[in-house]
Chain A
Amino acid sequence: MTEGALYFLQLVISGIAVGSLYALVALGFVLIYKATDIMNFAHGEAMMVGAFICYALVVAGIPFLWAVLITTGIAMFFGLVTERLVLRPMIGEPQFAVVMVTIGLSIFLRSISGIIFGHDNKIFPSQLSDQTLVFKGLVLSYTHLWAMLISGLMVILFFLFFRYSRVGLAMRGVANDQDTAMLMGISVKRVFALTWGISFAIAAVAGIFLANVMVLNIAICLVAIKAFPAVILGGLESIPGAIIGGLVIGVLETLVGGYLDQTLPGVKDLTAFVVLFLVLMIRPYGLFGKKEIERV
């Protein structure tokens, strides 16, 4: 392999690695949007809280895998509580007001985390991040490999869940039309609660992965903003879309960073948003979203 080709391939692989992290973040967003039509602006904070809890557990001496499991459980419970206290009273209110409530929630959670966990930079003590996998000169770290595996697994799981399970069908029904779903005897409230629980659990997993590759502090919740383009790119309602969106954004970002940063400094961080804008111009419902076309 020539050096140029190797460089390109390595960039693509690194991009997929980062993309799988974005995909994990995007997944939680999409899940909530799919079932409840809400863009959850507190998703980044849910990630952060999950990462902090897991950190606290690992520091307390609980083995990493157990800590992750316990964190997922706590996050799920936390999601249920959030839904009950904050979002349930908002059922039937305009979508925009509900989105705003999640913004309020994000401000609240961020400060509370600052109070409880402190503002210092923490280093996640896990077994994942140290080793790397080297194959013919191409490098991939185990953290990213796990992120990729888990994203893949999630897609399959959710595909099966939405296709075959009763609850999954109920969720799809609610997403499609709340009133009709209610008439069909589906408990919309329960579906909402469950969605938030699952979404928070996924957020926690994403947060743990991010904490492994970055420094764990309050600022980690800002990564969620970087995942927005991935969500929209794939289409707000599509779970495979979220994964593909995440991967596309990750790869493009890394490639742009690898080739264009010299000529256009800082363009790497802009890539996602430009791609998003262009995609929306051509397909206003994302790559895999529900087609609701506006004609003017």
Chain B
Amino acid sequence: MKPKKNWKLVVSLVICLGLFSVTTSFSETRGVTKDAIQMGMILVKTGPVAALGLPEGWGVQDTFDQINETGGIHGRKINLIWEDDQFKTPLSISAFNKLIFRDKVLSITCMGGTPQTIALFDLIDKHHVVNIPNALAEEFSKPHKPYVFVLGASYETQIELMFDYIMNDLKAKDPKIAVVYAETEFGKKGLEAARKRAEQYGIKLVSELVLNIGSVDASSQILSLKKDNVEYVVTCNLVPPIITFLKTAEKYDYWPTTFGINWSCDDMVVKACKAASKNYIGVNFVGGWEDDTPGMKRVRELARKNDRDPAKMLTSLYTMGVGTAAVLAEGMKRAGQNLTPESYKDGMETLKDFETGGIVPPVTYTPTSHAPTTVARLYRADPDKGVMIPITDWRSAKEMK
């Protein structure tokens, strides 16, 4: 009995030691071969949040496909691998590890969301992953992160633009402004920005109310606002709660001018609320779907070619996806023939007032700052046409104290 056991033990130990010696070899440049570039993307594809992830991912995918059809980047085709993180941090970390170590991608774009991106900061730095996250938190560019490039005006800028619009364009005297926000990272950021801006203008916010994502009803919020005679409602929320909010307001015959940040500045709101959206104004850093600009024409063309029905998706997010991919591809092009994570980063940093033809405002990154643009645009809902119509050009917030 005894010797036999020892014999087995020895064999198994040998097998284990054999496994030690098996090491994975890494190619010279991660993700780049003679005729292909491996790109990764982490974005939610399934479950209740998929309505946000899918259009943006489609935008990226379609743009890369189009680039491939026209010859790729310096003769290399971009192969996009899209991982679903179900909007969970542990899953996006595992997706990141899979993309880097299994698929050996050059870089990964869209890290799934703000919490996921922050959780991945160390890994992004360690593996030199050039990326444009699909969220706009301040931490992404402050302090400077060498591999994170932020696209799109911050929530602070957007909120400031709303207040500027109320004070300077609508010339409101002593306006009654309230904030309705979701208890999320962007909601809180927006709330703080609103408080700060109100103080700068010397106004006091009438109230700050929570409207969470998934709320069945906004009656208590609307009634409270109505009781206080609030004229301007600044919201920081997603599309579905805004629709509930506007529809409930209509029910109580209450018509404040309502402002929404980029996540809720979408034609979907107008299509859903119809007349209820007549006083709705959104801020966004992407072009409006029906804009008559060369960039947006290209976006509409792209959507049509790939069977993306604009009535069935959040078009602003699709546009954002196209913009993201266009900027990423331009950086790749500028990195030249010798594409490595480092040269890719340098390529991105040469972007100066890069024009997308109205998809996103001109993009500039420098070696010391990857901060996003400070400009955005205001849109007003047009219930008859069912779209958001731009009412200002790209503008930046007024400097105050």
Question: A residues near B, CB below 8 A?
Answer: 3, 7, 10-11, 14-15, 17-18, 21-22, 110-111, 114, 118-121, 123, 129, 132, 139, 141, 210, 213-215, 217-219, 221-223, 226, 253-258, 261-262, 265-266, 268-269
Q: B77 at interface (Cβ–Cβ under 8 A)?
A: no
Instruction: Tell whether A210 pairs with B208 under 8 Å between CB atoms, given A119-B51, A217-B51.
Output: no
Q: Assuming A121-B268, A222-B48, is B247 touching A14 (CB within 8 A)? A: no
Query: In this assembly, does B227 line the interface, its C-beta being within 8 Å of a C-beta of chain A?
Result: yes
Q: In the bound complex, what is the Cα–Cα distance between A121 and B311 (angstroms)?
A: 10
Q: Is the CB of B210 within 8 A of A266?
A: yes
Bound together, the chains give a CA A75 to CA B37 distance in angstroms of 49
Contact B183 A265 (CB under 8 A): yes
> Judging by beta carbons under 8 Å apart, are B219 and A17 in contact?
yes
Q: Given A121-B239, A215-B272, A114 and B50 touching (CB < 8 A)?
A: yes
Within the assembled complex, what's the spacing in Å between the Cα atoms of A210 and B217? 10
Whether B48 contacts A217 by the Cβ 8 Å rule is: yes
Q: A120-B313, A269-B212 are in contact. Are A219 and B48 (CB under 8 A)?
A: yes
Complex-state Cα separation, A114 to B47, whole angstroms: 7
- Give residues 194-232 of B contacting A (CB, 8 Å): 207-210, 212-217, 219-221, 223-224, 227
17 A-B pairs with C-beta separation under 8 A: A14-B220, A14-B223, A111-B47, A114-B46, A114-B47, A121-B268, A123-B243, A139-B253, A214-B240, A214-B243, A215-B240, A218-B50, A222-B48, A257-B224, A261-B224, A265-B210, A268-B220
Whether, in the assembled complex, B54 has its beta carbon less than 8 Å from a beta carbon of chain A, the answer is: yes
Contact A258 B223 (CB under 8 A): yes
How many chain B residues sit at the interface, stated as a range, is 35 or more
* Chain A nearest Cβ from B227, distance in angstroms: 5
In the assembled complex, the Cα of A213 lies from the Cα of B312 at a distance in Å of 19
The number of residue pairs between A and B whose CB atoms lie closer than 8 Å in the complex comes to 118
Given contacts A18-B217, A257-B221, A266-B183, contact A139 B252 (CB under 8 A): yes
A226 vs B210: C-alpha distance when bound (angstroms): 17
Partner of A139, one of B47, B54, B251: B251
For residue B61, CB closer than 8 A to chain A, the reply is: no
- Smallest CB–CB gap between B248 and chain A, Å? 8
Chain A residues near B49 (CB-CB < 8 A):
219
Shortest distance in angstroms between A47's beta carbon and chain B's nearest beta carbon?
A: 12
Expressed in whole angstroms, the Cα–Cα distance for A149 and B216 within the complex equals 19
**Complex Cα distance A262/B181, Å?**
12
- CA distance in complex: A21, B219 (Å): 14
List the A side residues contacting B212 at CB < 8 Å: 266, 268-269
Confirm or deny: B345 has a beta carbon within 8 angstroms of a beta carbon on chain A.
Answer: no
Q: Does B244 contact A (CB under 8 A)?
A: yes
Task: Write the nearest CB–CB distance from B93 to chain A, whole angstroms.
Answer: 22
Decide: B47 and A110 in contact? CB cutoff 8 A. Answer: yes
Measured between alpha carbons, how far is A218 from B46 in the docked complex, in Å? 10
Give the distance in Å from the alpha carbon of A262 to the alpha carbon of B221 in the complex.
Answer: 10
Residues of B within 8 A of A119 (CB): 50-51, 54
Given A3-B227, A120-B51, A219-B48, does the pair A18, B219 have CB atoms closer than 8 Å? yes
Q: Is B271 an interface residue (CB 8 A)?
A: yes
When distances are taken between beta carbons in the complex, the residues of chain A under 8 Å from B209 are: 261-262, 265
Interface pair A132/B251, CB less than 8 Å apart: yes
Residue of A nearest to B54 (CB): A119
Please tell me if the beta carbons of B227 and A219 are within 8 angstroms of each other in the complex: no
Chain B residues with CB below 8 A from A269, complex form: 210, 212, 215
Shortest CB distance B245–A (Å): 11
CB atoms of A11 and B220 under 8 A apart: yes
Bound Cα distance from A7 to B217, whole angstroms? 17
Highest count of chain A CB atoms <10 Å: which of B220, B224, B244: B220
With A215-B244, A219-B48 given, is the CB distance from A14 to B217 under 8 Å? yes
* Alpha-carbon separation in the docked complex, A257 to B223 (Å): 10
Residues B253 and A129 in contact, CB atoms below 8 Å apart: no
A21 is contacted by which of B50, B216, B271 (Cβ under 8 Å)? B216
Contacts of A118 in B (CB 8 A): 312
A214 touches B183 (CB 8 A): no
Contacts of B224 in A (CB 8 A): 257-258, 261-262
Q: CB-nearest residue of chain A relative to B220?
A: A257
Per-residue interface assignment for chain B, residues 308 to 342, with 1 indicating a CB less than 8 Å from any chain A CB and 0 otherwise: 00001110000000000000000000000000000
Min CB distance, B387 to chain A, in Å? 15
A120 touches B183 (CB 8 A): no
A2 CA to B367 CA, complexed, in Å: 63
Report chain B residues within 8 Å CB of A123.
243, 271-272
> How near does chain B come to A116, taking the closest CB pair, in angstroms?
14
Contact of B208 among A10, A132, A215, A265 (CB under 8 A): A265
Min CB gap A56→B, angstroms: 13
Q: Mark B229-263, 1 if CB is under 8 A from A, else 0.
A: 00000000001100110010001110000000000
What residues of A have a CB within 8 angstroms of the CB of B54 in the complex? Answer: 119
Instruction: Determine the distance from Cα of A21 to Cα of B217 in the docked complex, in whole angstroms.
Output: 10
The minimal Cβ–Cβ distance linking A112 to chain B, given in whole angstroms, is 11
Closest to B240 in A: A215
CB distance from A130 to the nearest CB of B (A): 9
B210 contacts A268, C-beta separation under 8 Å? yes
Contact A121 B51 (CB under 8 A): yes
- Distance (whole angstroms) from the CB of B390 to the closest CB of chain A: 23
In the assembled complex, how far is the CB of residue B187 from the closest CB belonging to chain A, in whole angstroms? 10
Contact A210 to B219, CB < 8 A, known contacts A114-B46, A217-B48: no
How many angstroms from the CA of A271 to the CA of B149 in the assembled complex?
A: 41
Which A residues are CB-close (under 8 A) to B221? 257, 261
Q: Closest CB-CB distance, B192 to chain A, in whole Å?
A: 13
**B48 touching A262 by the CB < 8 A rule?**
no
Q: Which residue among A110, A119, A255, A261 has the maximum number of chain B CB atoms within 10 Å of its CB?
A: A119
Could you tell me if B210 and A261 are in contact, using CB atoms closer than 8 angstroms? yes
Q: Which residues of B contact A21 (CB under 8 A)?
A: 216-217
Given contacts A3-B227, A261-B210, 9 further A-B pairs with CB under 8 A are A10-B223, A119-B51, A123-B272, A139-B252, A213-B216, A213-B217, A222-B48, A258-B223, A262-B208
CB contact list, B31-80 vs A, under 8 A: 46-51, 54
Which residues from chain A contact B243 at a C-beta distance below 8 Å? Answer: 121, 123, 214-215
Q: Which residues of the other chain, B, contact A10 by a CB distance below 8 angstroms?
A: 223
A146 to chain B, nearest CB (A): 14
- Residues in A neighbouring B183, C-beta threshold 8 A: 265-266
